[in-house]
């Protein structure tokens, strides 16, 4: 049988939107702001051969590792799955990310036959460990980062295993929130199963399988066509993480990208060995960085599935920071090393497809987790979020201001949602002036976000980057500004925090985050004067910055700008 192209396209679209609907259900049903508001979750659909068939446009670091997680996780249950079963696990060395990301997989049955699988991954606001939020910046082994769950039947024939659930929930600080989020994940899978069964019943199981096969082959063909356009050769790049979380030594990531015909080889030989701190990235995270970058520099219309990545070979030596050995801690590898991996890959691809590569984005997710005991309820509380920064300048356009970049793709957590649940009061949330890298197309600016602790005490963890090494510019563009993390003590003292740390806070203390800006793209002296003036009026850069970085433009173009009048105009606009 050969499925006609129209049916193939219809089934492709139906599967993709089924994954999107799974995400909508998960977010709408979730308890934690991290999933409900920030949308830190991802949903996928696999065929009966356990190959990625469709995914929603969710979190790159989740999605790229999901195929690894499904293959590894289902390997524990050969021939043992029944209708209504759901497999749960979070062991990073199996699931492919870090402990807060819990993976849930369900087989899809029709007429007593498995016709596919649905899977989702969601970041829980606490899974135990040494610090609230389970993202300790100074962890030295995996056991300090939370409860480790191997692949287990969390749901058997539609019923939650109560003993197993009780065991898991007794190891976390906020069991009610976790159980609510787990049920949301279950709801997402149930909806995904129903949608796939509806498609199979409408078109027939054989047609479904053949349509998926056709889509996978189509994606492979399109990706190979894109790679075939690239100039053959080997292209190298490297960049560094600024410290390990337990030492101040920089950690190098090195890559060689080899283009041969319609094949790519990504080789990380020369990358530093795994470290004692939490910045090791498990294999699934490394793969996700490769897959994400490949989609960025090729045709974005290529359907994302198993076929998409058949032309790519990835190698990272065992025992390195991009392929560590358990029980190395990995919480930051998922969120920070994944970002640096993308930066390194983009540096390499800037030599291959220069017009498709942007300057460095903020290069960090600015992970903040905090928790303690809520004085109003007497119960533990735990909050986690990532914070937006600047996107890098790119060919023909400035970088985007205040956005989550590359491997995160999450949303802003509204301060109203945070204040309504946690003992926190926000004092400031605004664009950060003068932090985008100057260039013909400037880098996007980051944000400044600060809040005061209202509880008697709390434990704060920061996992971040780009405090020492700024986001790089490209083709003559200048670097973006580095990030900063501060605690303003209630007695007036100010403490500058390391980018990876776990510290205590007291009532009345204020935590301040200033996120990095994106790198600039192209020579700043080629920037149009009207764009420089616009940035001044919009208060994205100061007059001093304009004089330092763009002043020559004004002189060359003989534009007569009254700086004092510009300052007055800017203040007037702000007041209005």
Structure tokens at 21: 């609907």
Q: Is the pLDDT of residue 555 over 50?
A: no
- From residue 208, alpha-carbon distances to 21, 47, 68, 203 in Å are 19, 9, 23, 7
Are 430 and 563 part of one and the same domain? no
Are 474 and 558 part of one and the same domain? no
CA 446 vs. chain centroid, Å, equals 17
Q: How confident is the model at residue 557 (pLDDT cuts 50, 70, 90)?
A: very low
Q: How confident is the model at residue 573 (pLDDT cuts 50, 70, 90)?
A: low
Structure tokens at 409: 């793709």
Measured between alpha carbons, how far is 359 from 520 in angstroms, rounded to an integer?
Answer: 6
Give mean pLDDT, residues 85-104: 98
Are 98 and 213 part of one and the same domain? yes
Burial class of residue 243 (count of CB atoms within 10 Å of its CB; 0-12, 13-18, 19+): buried
Give mean pLDDT, residues 260-265: 97
User: How many CB atoms within 10 Å of residue 184?
Assistant: 23
Are 420 and 533 part of one and the same domain? no
Are 462 and 535 part of one and the same domain? no
Compute the radius of gyration of the chain from its Cα atoms. Answer: 24
Does any domain span residue 258?
A: no
Q: Is the pLDDT of residue 163 over 90?
A: yes
φ/ψ (deg, to 5) at 499 = -70, -15
The number of folded domains in the chain is: 3
409-462 pLDDT, tens digit each: 899 999 999 999 999 999 999 999 999 999 999 999 999 999 999 999 999 999
pLDDT at position 546: 79
Measured between alpha carbons, how far is 94 from 342 in angstroms, rounded to an integer?
Answer: 22
Residues 110-139 as b/e (b if ≥16 CB within 10 A, e otherwise) read beeeebbbbbbbbbbbbbbbbbbbbbbbbb
164-176 pLDDT, tens digit each: 999 999 999 999 9
564: containing domain:
528-576
The answer to whether 89 and 149 have CB atoms below 8 angstroms apart is yes
CA angle 281, 284, 289 (to 5 degrees): 75
- From residue 319, alpha-carbon distances to 185, 327, 328 in Å are 33, 11, 10
Does any domain span residue 567?
A: yes
Does any domain span residue 180?
A: yes
Q: How confident is the model at residue 376 (pLDDT cuts 50, 70, 90)?
A: confident
Are 174 and 38 part of one and the same domain? yes
Are 159 and 121 part of one and the same domain? yes
Give mean pLDDT, residues 516-520: 98
More confident residue, 375 or 16: 16
CA angle 362, 363, 367 (to 5 degrees): 95
The structure tokens 């139906």 sit at 14
Q: How confident is the model at residue 283 (pLDDT cuts 50, 70, 90)?
A: very high
Measured between alpha carbons, how far is 313 from 26 in angstroms, rounded to an integer?
Answer: 33
Does any domain span residue 146?
A: yes
322-354 pLDDT, tens digit each: 999 999 999 999 999 999 999 999 999 999 999
pLDDT at position 534: 84
Are 557 and 483 part of one and the same domain? no
- From residue 167, alpha-carbon distances to 163, 164, 380 in Å are 6, 5, 18
105-160 pLDDT, tens digit each: 999 999 999 999 999 999 999 999 999 999 999 999 999 999 999 999 999 999 99
Does any domain span residue 108?
A: yes
Are 504 and 544 part of one and the same domain? no
Single residue among 160, 186, 221 that ends a domain in this structure: 221
Structure tokens at 157: 């024939």
Beta strands, E only, 507-548? 510-514
Three-state DSSP at 570 gives: helix
Beta strands, E only, 52-189? 52-55, 86-89, 101-110, 113-123, 152-156, 159-160
Structure tokens at 30: 């979730």
Give mean pLDDT, residues 460-469: 97
pLDDT at position 570: 61
β-partners of residue 320 are 273, 323
Does any domain span residue 346?
A: no
Report which DSSP code applies to 199. Answer: H
Does any domain span residue 518?
A: yes
Burial class of residue 524 (count of CB atoms within 10 Å of its CB; 0-12, 13-18, 19+): buried
51-79 pLDDT, tens digit each: 999 999 999 999 999 999 999 999 999 77
Are 431 and 535 part of one and the same domain? no
Three-state DSSP at 418 gives: helix
Does any domain span residue 69?
A: yes
Single residue among 221, 246, 266 that ends a domain in this structure: 221
Question: Is the omega angle on the peptide bond into residue 115 within 30 degrees of 0, that is, cis?
Answer: no
Are 387 and 495 part of one and the same domain? yes
More confident residue, 573 or 112: 112
Single residue among 189, 204, 221 that ends a domain in this structure: 221
Q: Is the pLDDT of residue 558 over 50?
A: no
Average pLDDT, the chain: 94
Q: How confident is the model at residue 572 (pLDDT cuts 50, 70, 90)?
A: low
β-partners of residue 403 are 389
Measured between alpha carbons, how far is 219 from 214 in angstroms, rounded to an integer?
Answer: 9
Are 420 and 547 part of one and the same domain? no
């Amino acid at each position: 049988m050969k499925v006609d192209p129209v049916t193939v396209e219809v089934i492709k679209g139906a599967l993709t939107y089924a994954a999107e609907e799974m995400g909508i259900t998960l977010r709408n049903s979730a308890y934690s702001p991290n999933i409900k508001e920030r949308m830190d979750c991802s949903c996928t659909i696999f065929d009966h051969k356990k190959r990625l068939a469709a995914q929603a446009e969710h979190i790159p670091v989740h999605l790229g590792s999901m195929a690894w997680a499904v293959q590894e996780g289902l390997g524990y249950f050969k021939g043992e799955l029944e209708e209504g079963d759901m497999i749960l696990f979070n062991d990073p060395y199996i699931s492919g990310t870090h402990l807060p990301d819990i993976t849930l997989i369900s087989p899809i049955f029709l007429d007593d036959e498995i016709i596919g699988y649905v899977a989702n991954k969601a970041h829980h606001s606490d899974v135990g460990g040494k610090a609230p939020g389970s993202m300790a910046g100074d962890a030295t082994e995996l056991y300090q980062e939370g409860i480790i769950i191997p692949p287990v039947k969390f749901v058997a024939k539609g019923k939650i295993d109560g003993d197993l659930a009780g065991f898991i929930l007794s190891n976390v600080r906020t069991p009610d929130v976790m159980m609510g989020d787990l049920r949301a994940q279950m709801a997402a899978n149930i909806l995904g199963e129903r949608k796939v069964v509806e498609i199979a019943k409408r078109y027939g199981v054989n047609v479904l399988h053949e349509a998926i096969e056709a889509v996978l082959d189509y994606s492979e063909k399109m990706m190979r066509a894109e790679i075939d356009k690239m100039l053959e050769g080997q292209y190298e790049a490297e960049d560094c993480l600024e410290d390990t979380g337990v030492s101040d030594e920089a950690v190098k990531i090195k890559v060689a990208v080899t283009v041969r015909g319609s094949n790519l080889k990504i080789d990380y030989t020369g990358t530093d060995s795994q470290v004692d701190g939490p910045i090791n990235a498990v294999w699934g995270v490394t793969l996700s960085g490769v897959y994400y970058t490949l989609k960025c520099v090729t045709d974005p219309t290529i359907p994302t599935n198993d076929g998409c990545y058949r032309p790519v070979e990835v190698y990272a030596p065992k025992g390195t920071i991009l392929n560590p050995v358990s029980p190395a801690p990995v919480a930051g590898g998922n969120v920070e090393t994944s970002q640096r991996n993308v930066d390194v890959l983009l540096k390499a691809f800037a030599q291959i497809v220069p017009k498709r590569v942007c300057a460095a984005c903020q290069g960090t997710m600015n992970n903040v987790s905090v928790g303690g005991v809520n004085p109003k309820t007497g119960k533990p509380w735990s909050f986690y979020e990532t914070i937006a920064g600047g996107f890098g300048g790119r060919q023909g356009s400035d970088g985007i201001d205040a956005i989550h970049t590359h491997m995160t793709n999450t949303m802003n957590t509204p301060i109203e949602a945070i204040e309504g649940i946690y003992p926190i009061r926000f004092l400031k949330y605004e664009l950060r002036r003068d932090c985008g890298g100057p260039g013909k197309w400037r880098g996007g600016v980051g944000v400044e976000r600060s809040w005061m602790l209202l509880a008697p005490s709390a434990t704060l963890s920061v996992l971040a980057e780009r405090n020492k090494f700024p986001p790089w510019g490209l083709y003559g563009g200048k670097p973006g500004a580095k990030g900063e993390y501060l605690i303003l003590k209630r007695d007036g003292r100010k403490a500058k925090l390391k980018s990876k740390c776990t510290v205590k806070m007291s009532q009345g203390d204020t935590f301040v985050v200033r996120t990095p800006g994106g790198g600039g793209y192209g020579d700043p002296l080629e920037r149009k004067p009207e764009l420089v003036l616009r940035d001044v009026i919009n208060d994205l850069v100061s007059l001093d910055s304009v004089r330092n970085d763009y002043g020559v433009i004004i002189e060359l173009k003989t534009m007569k700008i009254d700086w004092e009048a510009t300052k007055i105009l800017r203040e007037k606009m702000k007041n209005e």
